[in-house]
Amino acid sequence: MGLLQNILAIIVVLGLLITFHEFGHFWVARRCGVKVLRFSVGFGKPLWSTVDRQGTEYAIAAIPLGGYVKMLDEREAPVPEDQLDQAFNRKTVWQRIAIVAAGPLANFLLAIVAYWALFVSGTTVVAPMVGDVLPDSPAAEAGLAHGDEIIAIQNDAVRSWEEVNLKLISMIGFSGSLAINVLPEGSSSERAYALEVDNYLTRQDPPQPLQSLGMTPWQPEFPAVLGQVVDGEAAANAGLQAGDHIIAIDDMPVEDWMQFVTMIRRSAGETLSVAYERNGEQGTLTLTPGSNLLESGGEVGYIGAGVESVTWPESLQREIRYGPIEAVGQALSRTGDMILLTVDAIRKMLVGLISPSNLSGPITIAQISGDSARAGMEAFVGFLAYLSISLGVLNLLPIPVLDGGHLLYYFLEIVRGRPVSEQTQAIGLRIGLAMVGGLMVMALYFDLMRLW
């Protein structure tokens, strides 16, 4: 069921992103007087198609990993003389720039609309309160303590752990004093701390912003109560059900969920005696955890079960909601911040501050799409906005075959006063295909490594 949800979620996500991207090209092309021959979502053989009164074919193809807008162009096929004024290559360089740039801009617009909807409907977040602080860590040496609520990092206000993590991720490679302002538990006056870091998060795989500073988020106690049990896995096969409270394993009392997880992880392939409570009655059963291999060569146990959700204290819940007009500015600001963060992440990967193993391909995107869909509409829309921004930024990279590569040629045409030769473009096309192909292979490789 989880695999099917992941597949459906990625089809919905990619379908929306591709449709918006290609519609951007299509809409501006039509406004510039270019004849569009085909608007296709997906590659390969069309599964469905129709033709409008202007002769444009709309198609949904079999391979949902992209799409394209095919326009009338003398470079691709002979054009009737009475239609030359509708050919893409006959348009001014500024019109061609507008048509090509419209795809990524449509992705940014989709993100703005998604964030606007989230801000208008309102989102409930958990205040970023510090839990444990590790001894001799940057956080401990600076003076942070259990119960401190983080309210600003580098003088930028933060209201949730998501905002904290995004700000800390943007600091990858930073050396010096990291300014963190907190509101101590039970106090109304804030305090400022300086955490000394050196090459913060450089080449971590994956980056662990909080752990690297020596602190963990505060969270309520999670009793060892099963919230969900996956069919066909060890927990379900043993007879455990959602709602069961795990009392002991091999006569050793289980105090909370984390202790239960620790005991399962170190018991791969071992037969355990599990005492549980269900509907006020106690019972015992045998459970044999499955085994997952680690990259280091070791193995950990798993049973295919999740914890029952726990209600967070109202004092730590923050609602973020804006009116329709104010939400526009907030959506523009959030989209701009995410664009800059994505561009900066690409730069840092190129200079070696971020490990290339953080690249994600279709498998990871499918997993995250499915997880966000299961987490609710708010998480799904937020992920859709983030992925739309990533797609827009990547398409603007100055690599031939991408929109950014075409834009590079057109700007060179403006500077030189004449188009880039077709021979140069052909060479660039081969280089671009090799670069994009290599990037896709790397992303798929790291996907498979994470999966294993």
Residue 313 phi/psi, 5° resolution? -60, 140
> How many angstroms separate the CA atoms of 188 and 179, rounded?
19
- In sequence order, the β-bridge partners of residue 301 are 291
Residue 391 phi/psi, 5° resolution? -65, -40
> How many angstroms separate the CA atoms of 347 and 344, rounded?
5
133, 140 contact by CB (below 8 A):
yes
Cα R_g (the chain), whole angstroms:
26
Tell me the helix, strand and coil percentages in the chain, rounded to 5: 45, 25, 30
Classified as helix, coil or strand, 58 is strand
Task: DSSP letter for 313, please.
Answer: P
> How many angstroms separate the CA atoms of 271 and 286, rounded?
6
- Catalytic residue among 22, 57, 81, 308, which? 22
> How many angstroms separate the CA atoms of 393 and 265, rounded?
40
Task: Write out the two tokens for 403.
Answer: 């929109």
To the query of whether residue 326 is one of the catalytic residues in this protein, the response is no
Amino acid symbol at 198: D
The number of beta carbons lying within 10 Å of the beta carbon of residue 178 is 21
The number of beta carbons lying within 10 Å of the beta carbon of residue 190 is 13
The residues that are catalytic are 22
